[in-house]
Amino acid sequence: MKEMKFSDILNENSLLAQKMTGKPFRISILSNIVTTQINEILEYALRLQNINAQVSAGDYDNIVQDSAKVSDSDCVIVFWEVGNLVDGFSYKIASYNDDYLKSLQEKIENELRMVFLNLSGRPFVFFNTFTANLFTNNHLETSNLDFFCDNLNQFLRSNAPNNFHLIDLNRIFEKISVKQSADWRFFYSSKALYTVDFYKEYVEQISLYILSTYGKAKKVICLDCDNTLWKGIIGEDGIFGIECSADSKSGIYFEEVQYLLLELARNGVILCLVSKNNEEDVNQVFQQKKEMILKEEHIVLKKINWNDKASNIKDIAKELNLGLDSFVFIDDSDFEINLVREQLPEVTSIQVPKKLYEYPQLIRSVTRLFFKKNTSVEDQNRTKLYKQELERDSLKKSFETIDDYLKSLNLKLRILKNDSETLPRIAQLTQKTNQFNLTTYRYTDADIEKFHKDPNIDLFAFSLEDKFGDYGLTGVSIVKYETNLAQIDTFLMSCRILGRKAEDAFIQYLLEDIKNKGVNSVKADFIKTEKNQQVENLYERFGFRLVNSQAEHKNYFLDLTEYNIIKLEYIEVLSGR
């Protein structure tokens, strides 16, 4: 999108709008400047990712009043520019006395409080911090405008609700330059301060959070080895001929890349190897070359053979039980990159640059694809968890029936109800779980915190463990109550624990808990997506009655007075910590 002309974005966005289906993602923009151009750019960026974005703008310089009118918005973006707080403020500030500036600051803080209150119920709000950098003529000294902005930003950071995400515009200025960010001709003629280039970069930044919330962040990197993890070809140069250390001219780039990849692995990104090589040669590098930053313990799966790489990536996706659209493939070969792009267009394929000094910065840009607001304990242990899963799969082959295999695992399901420590992980699972997810409702941290405070909503989360280890917190249900009716709003599990029948034990616990509250009627929904077909008939398997069925939405009902709770003998269910 960065290379596209604005006119091309307008045309492409119009075409995409005709293809969009599903629930709209409503975005409201509130501003004291004219921001018209961002509307189409933001819609286009999100629609490319199959998010049915619909952007609307409030009235010009009417932020406080408009903040009370966006209760149906999924996202709100606020441009509150210091240069237009009052006419000519950026150049008149030096002539204002302290009393006037103090009264103006108090006025803005009071207005901010009203905006905080009005927008506190929105799923998430992007609020740009105040900056003087566009209007500063001397960056060696702190100006009056700088001080004014610093005071307002301190107020913002101390008082903004949890659903507010503060965006530092200075980082965008640093990346594309102040000159490329501001359009002074249009600012003076129509208060349109920012350029198309600025909005492109701004949209790229905030889209990361939106995509993560929608479960569209990447999860896996498949890496070539030769000239990707190290400089050289192991089969020709040998273990001492390849370079991956800062001690060599070319090795310095690969050392930095490996450190960046290691950081991703520690934050829950799954690293896999896809290399045309002799497996013994590659293993020797990981085991014996002391300069290697990445070790075998950081690699979840290896496909080191002479098969085509598209097939190997498909095999990895199948073994990990993850969609190909969550994969990134990195290779130095034109042939391999083009092959994967043609055969697996869902995979994001990235080629190692010919100019190696550009390689570390390329990997830094790739890390944005894996953005997540919070890193959970499960994220930090993800490599270990997936390696344990490979051990389970190996054991599974020695049993004749699935029940015999499950009995051998000594499964323990620990269920936590309305536990404050689980809230960030619950939000994360609603955002990233696609396959075993009955409704695929996406909730932010602020949403889950709001639910936690509601006496008519129960939040359930479970962890599963067996003799190989703990899978971590991998299942969630949200149950909402109205008089003598319970509505299962959310029922989901991580794909890592599919096939253990944990869902059976979990639903039985939920139904028993609902019944113990004196509630006998239960409603539930299935909302079809591209990825959750495997659970389309789950509620029917649990004994729920189908009361309404449409193309992509089913409604179910269960009368608990006629239902017998069934407990699985090979899953021990524990309640509380």
Same domain, 409 and 357: no
Using DSSP's 3-state secondary structure scheme, residue 179 falls into helix
Q: In this prediction, what percent of the chain has a pLDDT beyond 70?
A: 97
Instruction: Assign 13 to helix, strand or coil.
Output: helix
What domain range is 513 assigned to?
399-575
User: What percent of the chain stands above pLDDT 90?
Assistant: 72
The end-to-end CA distance of the chain, in Å, is 48
Residue 240 has what DSSP assignment? T
Residues 180 and 251 occupy one common structural domain: no
> Could you tell me if 233 and 325 lie in one domain?
yes
Q: How far is CA 14 from CA 8, 197, 359, 515, in A?
A: 10, 20, 36, 50
For residue 374, name the pLDDT band (cuts at 50, 70, 90). Answer: low
Mean predicted confidence (pLDDT) in 298-319: 94
For 84-93, write each residue's pLDDT tens digit. 998 889 889 8
Side chain identity, residue 405:
Y
CB count within 10 Å of CB 182 equals: 19
- Look at residue 577 and tell me whether its pLDDT is greater than 90: no
Residue 239, judged by CB atoms within 10 A of its CB (0-12, 13-18, 19+), counts as middle
Radius of gyration of the chain (CA): 27
Are 21 and 168 contained in the same domain?
A: yes
Model confidence at 462, in pLDDT bands (50, 70, 90)? very high
pLDDT top residue among 261 and 320: 261
CATH number assigned to the domain comprising residue 250? 3.40.50.1000
Residue 461, pLDDT score: 96
Domain final position from 214, 249, 276: 214
Q: What is the pLDDT of residues 140-164, one digit of tens each?
A: 777 889 999 999 999 999 999 988 9
Does 57 reside within a domain? yes
Let me know whether 82 and 141 are in one domain.
yes
What DSSP state is assigned to residue 414?
A: E
Looking up residue 512, the CATH number of its domain turns out to be: 3.40.630.30
112 and 195 housed in the same domain: yes
Q: Which of 193, 214, 235 is the last residue of a domain?
A: 214
Rounded-to-integer distance, Cα 325 and Cα 217, Å: 9
Counted domains in the chain? 3
Whether residue 287 is contained in a domain is answered as: yes
Answer yes or no: do 206 and 233 share one domain. no
- Span 246-256, average pLDDT: 94
pLDDT digits (tens, 9 = 90+) for 527-540: 998 889 889 999 99
* 328 plus 439 within the same structural domain: no
Residue with tokens 């209007």: 135
Residue 384 in any domain: the answer is no
Q: Report yes or no on 393 lying in a domain.
A: no
d(CA 477, CA 493): 9
Residues in the chain: 577
* 420 or 1: which leads in pLDDT: 420
Average pLDDT, stretch 239-267? 94
Pick from 523, 424, 445, 447: nearest CA to 479: 523
Provide, for the chain, the percentages of residues in helix, strand and coil under a 3-state DSSP scheme, each rounded to the nearest 5.
Answer: 45, 20, 35
What average pLDDT does the chain have? 91
**What CATH number is attached to the domain comprising 61?**
3.40.50.1110
**The model scores a pTM over 0.75:** no
Q: Are 45 and 27 in contact (CB under 8 A)?
A: no
Domain finish residue from 186, 214, 242: 214
The edge-to-edge listing of strands for the beta sheet with 75-79 is: 53-57, 25-31, 75-79, 124-128, 164-167
What are the pLDDT digits (tens) for 105-116?
999 999 999 999
State residue 195's pLDDT score.
96
Backbone angles phi, psi at 58, to 5 degrees: -75, -175
Q: What is the pLDDT of residue 467?
A: 84
Of the listed ranges 135-144, 163-172, 458-467, the one predicted with least confidence: 135-144
pLDDT the model gives residue 290:
93
- 243: three-class secondary structure by DSSP: strand
- Between CA 395 and CA 346 the distance in angstroms is 32
State residue 418's pLDDT score: 96
Q: How confident is the model at residue 1 (pLDDT cuts 50, 70, 90)?
A: confident
Distance (Å, whole) CA 244 – CA 239 = 11
For β-strands 469-482 and 485-493, DSSP reports them as: antiparallel
**Beta bridge partners of residue 303, listed in sequence order:** 274
Which has the higher per-residue pLDDT, 58 or 577?
Answer: 58
Same-domain status, 554 and 437: yes
**Claim to verify: residue 423 and residue 564 sit in the same structural domain:** yes
Task: Flag whether 80 is in a domain.
Answer: yes
Q: Are strands 469-482 and 25-31 parallel, antiparallel or unpaired?
A: unpaired
Dist. CA 433–CA 317, nearest whole Å: 15
How do residues 537-569 score in pLDDT, each as one tens digit?
Answer: 999 999 999 999 988 899 999 999 988 878 888
Q: Are residues 198 and 115 in the same domain?
A: yes
Task: Give residue 380's pLDDT.
Answer: 67
Average pLDDT over residues 224-249: 93
Mean pLDDT along residues 453-462: 96
User: Which residues, 6 or more positions from 42, have their beta carbon under 8 angstroms from its beta carbon?
Assistant: 27, 53, 55, 199, 203, 206, 207
pLDDT digits (tens, 9 = 90+) for 175-224: 999 999 999 999 999 999 999 999 999 999 999 888 888 778 899 999 99
Q: Say if residue 448 is in the same domain as residue 507.
A: yes
Residue 316 CA to residue 327 CA, distance in Å, equals 10
